[in-house]
């Protein structure tokens, strides 16, 4: 059988900055208007693995990692390290892939920490975040020797007790809120004054003074993060200036911090009108601002750390669904329902997020219909896409929703007791299962039916 001939799915693909594309870099269309990603036909993936199905393109994932690393090497004259914000999409496979590209990981729980370790990430390149870390999580961090991002006074006291009990020092990054506002959703703004994360800027000196007399603590650096899905560059310039000034004060108080972690937050393209900065432009802006601030204060350059998540994985992913029912309300709208929804993608109902979709078996057909794509859950708000143009849609059609690599799998739930989807990694015509599909038996696995509630007609499942 001869290989199919392809043409690109999108015009004007930016291979150097995957966050600026709607589709994965490897997306292509054959002569029959069938869509392929990673050398795999999407219809074949749906037939083999079922739907809903998360599909991740390895080419795009690696391109994003390399875009950050190469840009830092080009624009920042000092040392640097990229830390993948694994909350965006966490799995053993993702951790291993990031580590293979030389990235560390940003984790926020014991589960994410153990996933990073299990994926082969060097513990020296792992940082533990969180505004309410448990003793178990802090003990795990100490056991594995990872860096802890110090977030609040309670945590400082817990770490002091644990380190003294273990006769162990801990490497710290101190997180503070720089007071910078960004034009993004209120739920994902983290750098402004009214935030649950980090010490207030006015508290920072007191924290530094307290730690100056703490033999158990090594203040390795400072951390700040101003939000997520940001299209502006100016706030990142402002952040660098504030952070370097704080770094100077830490050194004046007797600390020897070498790391400056500016977080992440670079946005991605979810719909055609989105126009995020390129990865290289973001890195160049941050690098220039840090260098300028260090020169102004006559300070040596710190090691520059950043924590991209969404901009590394969002556009590498898509979700495949199968269309079911159709409901036409004359003069109002037409609903088409798919076999997933808010349990595999909670972002539309949570953040009012917008997406782009196509029919992967007819992706060159004219978009003559306008439909609203609804999920199958028992919620009126379970709508994935509002009033989007598509070719005529019928029951049984496949639907591909672009840019679902970030905060879809990681935020998935079992609402309505629906099993979570499988995930596959595609590359070079091969599809590798990286997360198996949950079964209905999995959902019942942890339930316990007390004896006094058992009915005579109860039927064991599984």
Domains and CATH numbers, the chain: 6-57+314-443 (2.40.37.10), 129-308 (3.20.20.10)
Instruction: Give the rounded percent of residues in the chain with a pLDDT score beyond 90.
Output: 88
Segment 17-64, tens digit of pLDDT: 999 999 999 999 999 999 999 999 999 999 999 999 999 999 999 999
User: What pLDDT is recorded for position 461?
Assistant: 59
For the chain, give the longest Cα–Cα distance. Answer: 80
Binding residues for pyridoxal 5'-phosphate, by number, are 265, 307-310, 407
Does 3 score more than 60 pLDDT? no
When the pLDDT of each residue in the chain is averaged and rounded to a whole number, the result is 93
pLDDT tops 70 at residue 186: no
Report helix angle 279-296 to 58-75, nearest 10: 30
How far apart CA 183 and CA 173 sit, in angstroms, is 26
Distances 32 to 39, 158, 345, 362 between C-alpha atoms, Å: 15, 62, 30, 8
Alpha-carbon span 253 to 260, nearest angstrom: 17
Cα separation of 120 and 385, whole Å? 37
DSSP state of 267: -
Three-class SS state of 146: coil
Task: Examine the pLDDT at 184 and tell me if it is beyond 60.
Answer: no
Do the Cβ atoms of 49 and 424 come closer than 8 Å? Answer: yes
What tens digit of pLDDT does each residue of 77-108 get? 999 999 999 999 999 999 999 999 999 999 99
Is the pLDDT reported for residue 292 higher than 70?
Answer: yes
d(CA 410, CA 312): 14
Contact between residue 197 and residue 190 where contact means Cβ atoms under 8 Å apart: yes
Q: What is the pLDDT of residue 190?
A: 46
Per the listing, tokens 């490897």 go with 26
d(CA 193, CA 181): 8
CA distance 349 to 340: 13
Instruction: Determine the pLDDT at residue 92.
Output: 98
Backbone angles phi, psi at 95, to 5 degrees: -60, -45
d(CA 117, CA 387): 43
To the query of whether residue 378 is one of the catalytic residues in this protein, the response is: yes
Active-site annotation holder among 65, 182, 294, 378? 378
- The confidence band for 181, taking pLDDT boundaries of 50, 70 and 90, is low
Task: Give the residue ranges of the annotated binding site.
Answer: 265, 307-310, 347, 351, 379, 407
Residues 305, 326: Cα–Cα separation, whole Å: 49
Q: Which residues touch 398 (CB under 8 Å, ≥6 apart)?
A: 42, 43, 46, 51, 320, 321, 322, 323, 359, 360, 361
Through-space distance between the first and last CA atoms of the chain, rounded to whole angstroms: 42
CA distance 101 to 34: 31
* Sign for the pseudo-dihedral over CA of 143, 148, 153, 155: negative
pLDDT at 12: 75
Check whether 70 has a pLDDT greater than 60.
yes
Binding-site residues from annotation for substrate: 310, 347, 351, 379, 407
Report pLDDT for 347.
97
- The set of residues, in sequence order, having a beta carbon less than 8 Å from that of 29 and lying 6+ positions away, is 6, 7, 8, 9, 35, 36, 363, 364
CA distances from 354 to 18, 132, 269, 274, 370 (A): 18, 31, 10, 10, 15
Q: Evaluate if residue 187 carries a pLDDT over 70.
A: no
Is 217 exposed, middle or buried, given 0-12, 13-18 or 19+ CB atoms closer than 10 A?
Answer: buried
The predicted pLDDT at position 2 comes to 43
What's the pLDDT at 458? 63
Tell me the pairing of strands 398-402 and 317-329: antiparallel
pLDDT 10s digits, 213-247? 999 999 999 999 998 899 999 988 899 999 999 99
The string of pLDDT tens digits covering residues 311-338 is 999 999 999 999 999 999 999 999 999 9
How much is the pLDDT for 191? Answer: 42
- Which residues are CB-neighbours of 453 under 8 A, at least 6 positions away? none
């Amino acid at each position: 059988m001869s290989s199919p001939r392809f043409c690109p799915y999108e015009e004007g693909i930016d291979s150097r900055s995957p966050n600026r594309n709607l589709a994965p870099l490897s997306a292509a269309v054959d002569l029959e208007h069938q869509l392929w990603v990673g050398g795999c036909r999407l219809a074949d993936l749906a037939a083999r693995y079922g739907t809903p199905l998360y599909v991740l393109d390895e080419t795009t994932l690696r391109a994003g990692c390399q875009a950050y690393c190469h840009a830092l090497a080009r624009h920042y004259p000092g040392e640097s390290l990229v830390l993948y914000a694994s909350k965006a999409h966490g799995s053993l496979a993702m951790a291993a892939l990031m580590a293979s590209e030389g990235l560390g990981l940003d984790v926020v729980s014991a589960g994410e920490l153990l996933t990073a370790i299990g994926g082969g990430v060097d513990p020296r390149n792992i940082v533990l975040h969180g505004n309410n870390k448990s003793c178990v999580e802090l003990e795990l961090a100490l056991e594995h020797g990872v860096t802890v991002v110090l977030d609040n006074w309670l945590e400082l006291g817990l770490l002091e007790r644990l380190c003294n009990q273990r006769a162990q020092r801990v490497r710290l990054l101190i997180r503070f809120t720089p007071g910078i506002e960004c034009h993004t959703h209120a739920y994902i703004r983290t750098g402004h004054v009214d935030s649950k994360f980090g010490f207030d800027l006015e508290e920072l000196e007191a924290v530094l003074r307290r730690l100056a007399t703490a033999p158990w603590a090594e203040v390795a650096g400072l951390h700040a993060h101003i939000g997520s899905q940001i299209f502006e560059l100016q706030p990142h310039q402002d952040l660098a200036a504030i952070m370097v000034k704080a770094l100077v004060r830490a050194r004046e108080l007797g600390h020897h911090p070498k790391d400056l972690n500016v977080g992440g937050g670079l946005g991605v393209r979810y719909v055609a009108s989105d126009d995020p900065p390129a990865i290289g432009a973001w890195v160049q802006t941050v690098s220039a601002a840090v260098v300028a601030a260090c020169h102004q204060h006559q300070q040596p350059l710190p090691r520059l750390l950043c924590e991209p998540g969404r901009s590394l994985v969002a556009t590498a992913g898509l979700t495949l669904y199968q269309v079911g029912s159709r409901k036409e309300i004359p003069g109002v709208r037409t609903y088409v329902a798919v076999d997933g929804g808010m349990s595999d993608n909670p972002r539309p109902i949570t953040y009012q997020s917008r997406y782009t979709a196509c029919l992967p078996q007819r992706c060159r057909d004219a978009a003559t219909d306008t439909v609203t794509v609804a999920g199958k859950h028992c919620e009126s708000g379970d709508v994935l896409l509002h009033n989007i143009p598509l070719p005529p849609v019928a029951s049984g059609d496949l639907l591909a929703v672009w840019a679902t690599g970030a905060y879809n799998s990681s935020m998935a739930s079992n609402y309505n007791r629906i099993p979570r989807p499988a995930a596959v990694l595609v590359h070079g015509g091969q599809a590798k299962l990286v997360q198996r599909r949950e079964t209905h038996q999995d959902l019942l696995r942890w339930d316990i039916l007390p004896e006094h509630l058992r009915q005579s007609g109860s039927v064991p499942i599984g």
